[in-house]
């Protein structure tokens, strides 16, 4: 029995040594299964992290405020320059605005004296037109605002059924030269109105006179046409093809046997309508 016990003891030793070798090759299960504990910040570390975050936020705010200040400065600079450019000097005031200011100043006077003073206050005159209304305009639609102003002024005068001497500079360039010589300015806007030889102004002045009722008093004494009157020769265009050259601008000279420039028409081969513009 003692021998059997010794044999069992001797046989159990290698079994425990085998398990000891396996345990020495791998770490313990408790060590593998135990998770690593997170690092807990101390109160000192927490305050330092909050201070860093606050400093970063403040730096962002300061940079944004500085950028906003620069943008506001730039906007103020551009606004001041734009207003300086938009405000004209008193010396550059066009005649149209001068007449509108005179019209505002004359509202305190009586109606009859106001109209007469308004017509006689003009220092710019168009000779030979003391008995008519002359409007320089254009029938081309190259510039929309200019065409709309010309159309509005033409419609206002046609509403009063008075005859108007419409001088279309797009039909005859001589009218542009004539208007520039009268006003003494090469860059003249359209339309421009003369009543009884006196310069009145452009579209804004005529609209203001029409809205206040002063234009009807100014036009008193002019002959009135029948309602719906329309010139059968030109269709109220005021121009017809030249009767001498039929609008070709050339005539045959029998004496010299060659074509020559027609002297009776303008650069477009047109003449003033003999029926409504005579």
| 197-226 tens-digit pLDDT | 999 999 999 999 999 999 999 999 999 998
pLDDT given for residue 263 in this prediction: 93
Expressed as residue numbers, the domain containing 150 is 116-229
Mean pLDDT of 63-75: 58
Tokens for 224? 């009135």
Whether 199 and 177 share a structural domain = yes
Whether 223 and 236 share a structural domain = no
Asked if residue 137 belongs to a domain, the reply is yes
Candidate from 36-40, 155-159, 257-261 with smallest mean pLDDT: 36-40
Candidate from 19-23, 146-150, 167-171, 232-236 with smallest mean pLDDT: 19-23
Candidate from 62-76, 161-175, 239-253 with smallest mean pLDDT: 62-76
Read off the pLDDT band of 179 (50, 70, 90).
very high
Instruction: For residue 53, count other CB atoms closer than 10 A to its CB.
Output: 10
Whether 222 and 237 share a structural domain = no
Asked if residue 60 belongs to a domain, the reply is no
pLDDT given for residue 22 in this prediction: 46
Mean pLDDT of 47-63: 60
Our count of domains for the chain comes to 2
Candidate from 76-80, 154-158, 241-245 with smallest mean pLDDT: 76-80
Output the pTM of the full model: 0.60
Query: Could you tell me where the beta strands, DSSP code E, fall in 108-249?
Result: 133-137, 165-168, 192-195, 198-201, 239-241
CA pair distance 135, 154, nearest whole angstrom: 8
Last residue of a domain, one of 213, 229, 245: 229
Mean pLDDT of 251-278: 91
Asked if residue 23 belongs to a domain, the reply is no
pLDDT given for residue 76 in this prediction: 63
Read off the pLDDT band of 228 (50, 70, 90).
confident
Asked if residue 121 belongs to a domain, the reply is yes
Query: Best-predicted range by mean pLDDT among 4-8, 16-20, 115-119, 146-150?
Result: 146-150
Mean pLDDT of 181-190: 90
Torsion, Cα of 135, 191, 194, 212 (10° steps):
110
The answer to whether the beta carbons of residues 165 and 134 sit under 8 Å apart is: yes
Last residue of a domain, one of 191, 214, 229: 229
pLDDT given for residue 72 in this prediction: 62
Whether 163 and 243 share a structural domain = no
Tokens for 119? 């017509």
pLDDT given for residue 82 in this prediction: 47
CA pair distance 100, 9, nearest whole angstrom: 131
Whether 238 and 225 share a structural domain = no
Whether 222 and 234 share a structural domain = no
Asked if residue 148 belongs to a domain, the reply is yes
Query: Best-predicted range by mean pLDDT among 48-57, 80-89, 116-125?
Result: 116-125
Residue of higher predicted confidence among 20 and 194: 194
Whether 139 and 210 share a structural domain = yes
Asked if residue 183 belongs to a domain, the reply is yes
Cβ neighbours for 176, distance < 8 A, ≥ 6 positions apart:
169, 188
Asked if residue 169 belongs to a domain, the reply is yes
Last residue of a domain, one of 210, 229, 248: 229
Asked if residue 253 belongs to a domain, the reply is yes
Compute the mean pLDDT over every residue in the chain, rounded to the nearest whole number: 75
Mean pLDDT of 9-29: 48
Whether 222 and 123 share a structural domain = yes
Q: What is the CATH number of the domain that holds 215?
A: 3.40.30.10
Whether 126 and 211 share a structural domain = yes
Whether 218 and 269 share a structural domain = no
Whether 225 and 207 share a structural domain = yes
Whether 120 and 215 share a structural domain = yes
pLDDT given for residue 63 in this prediction: 58
Cβ neighbours for 234, distance < 8 A, ≥ 6 positions apart:
240, 273, 275, 276
pLDDT given for residue 128 in this prediction: 92
């Amino acid at each position: 029995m003692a021998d059997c016990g010794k044999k069992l003891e001797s046989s159990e030793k290698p079994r425990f040594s085998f398990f000891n070798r396996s345990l020495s090759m791998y770490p313990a299960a408790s060590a593998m299964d135990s998770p690593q504990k997170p690092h807990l910040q101390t109160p000192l570390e927490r305050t330092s992290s909050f201070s860093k975050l606050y400093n970063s936020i403040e730096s962002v705010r300061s940079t944004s405020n500085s950028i906003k200040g620069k943008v506001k400065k730039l906007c103020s600079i551009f606004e001041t320059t734009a207003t300086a450019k938009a405000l004209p000097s008193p010396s550059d005031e066009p005649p149209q605005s001068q007449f509108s200011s005179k019209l505002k100043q004359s509202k305190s006077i009586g109606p009859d004296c106001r109209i007469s003073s308004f017509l006689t206050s003009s220092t710019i005159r168009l000779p030979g037109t003391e008995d008519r209304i002359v409007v320089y305009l254009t029938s081309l639609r190259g510039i929309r605002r200019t065409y709309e102003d010309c159309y509005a002024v033409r419609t206002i005068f046609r509403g009063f059924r008075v005859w108007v001497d419409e001088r279309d500079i797009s039909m005859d360039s001589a009218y542009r030269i004539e208007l520039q010589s009268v006003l003494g300015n090469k860059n003249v806007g359209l339309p421009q109105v003369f009543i009884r030889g006196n310069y009145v102004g452009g579209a804004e002045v005529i609209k203001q006179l029409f809205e206040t009722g002063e234009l009807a008093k100014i036009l008193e004494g002019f002959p009135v046409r029948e309602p719906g009157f329309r010139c059968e020769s030109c269709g109220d265009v005021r121009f017809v093809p030249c009767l001498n050259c039929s609008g070709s601008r050339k005539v045959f000279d029998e004496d010299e046997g060659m074509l020559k420039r027609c002297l009776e028409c303008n650069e477009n081969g047109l003449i003033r309508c003999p029926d409504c513009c005579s």
